[in-house]
Amino acid sequence: MNRRTQQKQKNRFIRIVTLVLFAAIIILADIFLLVSHNREFSERENRVLAKPPVLTTSNLLSGKYMTQAESFISDQFFLRDGWITYKLNADKLLGKKESNGVYLGKEGYLIEQAKEPAEEDFERNLDAIRDFALRHAGDQNIVMTVIPNAVYVMSHLLPTGAPAIDQEAILDRISEKVGTVLHFEDLTQDLIAHRHEYIYYKSDHHWTSLGARYAFDALYPSLGITDPVDTYTQYKVTDQFSGTLASASGASDVRDEIDLFVPDSDIQYVVEYVGDSKKSATIYSSSALDTNSKYEVFLAGNHPLIKIRTTAPNKKNLLLIKDSYANAFVQFLLPYYGTIYIVDPRYYSDDLDKLVTTGEITDILFLYNVNTFVEDNSIAGALTAES
């Protein structure tokens, strides 16, 4: 056999083996699609997977049927989670340092990318906060803080050179706008001082209880708290927390622990989820620990209005206007107020001014994180609502 024919023979072998395996993989995928039961829910993606497409004339003409068919096959593809993991590893192998808006940082940290202010809403919100503060300035002590995110505080853990935006500059803008009518507290440096500690979750975009504690330690004077409890009993409730950033990036192997910080005091309290008309004797929701969204262990997630009445001798009542960062912060506030009203403007639709009066509010705290605050489109509406 001469070299040419030998070469041809070899190429033929390669092609035919390739063809056979190519066909085998496709047939395998089809067999799985036909015989296996459709998976309804993906734990990993935390969503309902696509069902078989529905054949109707209108679906066909609009092209909806085709889109559904494509999602169905991809969603129900055999070993779907395995393919996703494989893809992520291929990405890493190629040197990618981010995935779906999440930096694959150092020391196992996943870090949410910084958000740019949505200018129009951002300005509108600040104007509304300013007006709101002016309406209540004489009667209530108003404090505001916006917590910088891991992307800024823990910038040493970002992939080298990752473009980050200066969140302190955003805080300066906020301070400039509202700093004259309320106490604006920039806690950036207080958090940066602890940047080597576990103050943000590795797999989630929230801060840990420890991070919230350092924030409280820096914030309490402006809240008028004079002798804070400084001992806490810590409970580690899980070490299997896989948060939003793990889901978004696909790096599902990153795990966090969640610690609760319970102030050492003999205060009793009752939590009322107004609207759900549910009551609870604790701010912690242990059932959340059985789900994917374990951060909801704090106050069972976000609610329009939560009312906490305590046995604290103090006659002060706090109105907390907030996003989910505050959920981990509330545990530190319990010993100092008779009643705490917690309002999430994204879901709250009643008159806040009225609540200030009827609730005999003495202190108002705005607590947000930068990424949420700069993209929020609900604060202005909630603060100016008239009913």
User: Footprint of another protein on this chain (CB under 8 A)?
Assistant: 7, 10-19, 21-23, 25-27, 29-30, 33, 44-47, 50, 60-63, 66, 69-71, 73-75, 77, 80, 83-84, 86-87, 90, 93-98, 159-163, 205, 244, 247-248, 250, 292-293, 295-296, 301-302, 323-324, 346, 372
Give DSSP secondary structure letters for 21-49: HHHHHHHHHHHHHHHSPPP-EETTTTEEP
For another protein, give the closer residue by CB, 291 or 358. 291
Decide: 68 and 59 in contact? Cβ < 8 Å: yes
Q: Is residue 271 helix, strand or coil?
A: strand
For another protein, give the closer residue by CB, 25 or 137. 25
The distance of closest approach from Cβ of residue 3 to another protein in the complex, given in angstroms and rounded to an integer, is: 9
For another protein, give the closer residue by CB, 208 or 362. 208
Strand partners, 244: none
For another protein, give the closer residue by CB, 49 or 385. 49
Alpha carbons within 13 A on the beta-carbon side of 266: 1
The distance of closest approach from Cβ of residue 95 to another protein in the complex, given in angstroms and rounded to an integer, is: 5
For another protein, give the closer residue by CB, 92 or 315. 92
Decide: 294 and 258 in contact? Cβ < 8 Å: yes
Q: How do 102-104 and 98-99 pair as beta strands?
A: antiparallel
Separation between Cα atoms, residue 66 and residue 84, nearest integer Å: 23
The values of phi and psi at residue 376, to 5°, are -70, 140
For another protein, give the closer residue by CB, 118 or 134. 118
Token representation of residue 140: 């209530």
The distance of closest approach from Cβ of residue 117 to another protein in the complex, given in angstroms and rounded to an integer, is: 16
Token representation of residue 354: 């009225």
Nearest to 376 by CA among 103, 197, 170, 181: 170
The distance of closest approach from Cβ of residue 286 to another protein in the complex, given in angstroms and rounded to an integer, is: 17
For another protein, give the closer residue by CB, 7 or 36. 7
The distance of closest approach from Cβ of residue 41 to another protein in the complex, given in angstroms and rounded to an integer, is: 10
The distance of closest approach from Cβ of residue 23 to another protein in the complex, given in angstroms and rounded to an integer, is: 8
Decide: 111 and 157 in contact? Cβ < 8 Å: yes
The distance of closest approach from Cβ of residue 70 to another protein in the complex, given in angstroms and rounded to an integer, is: 5
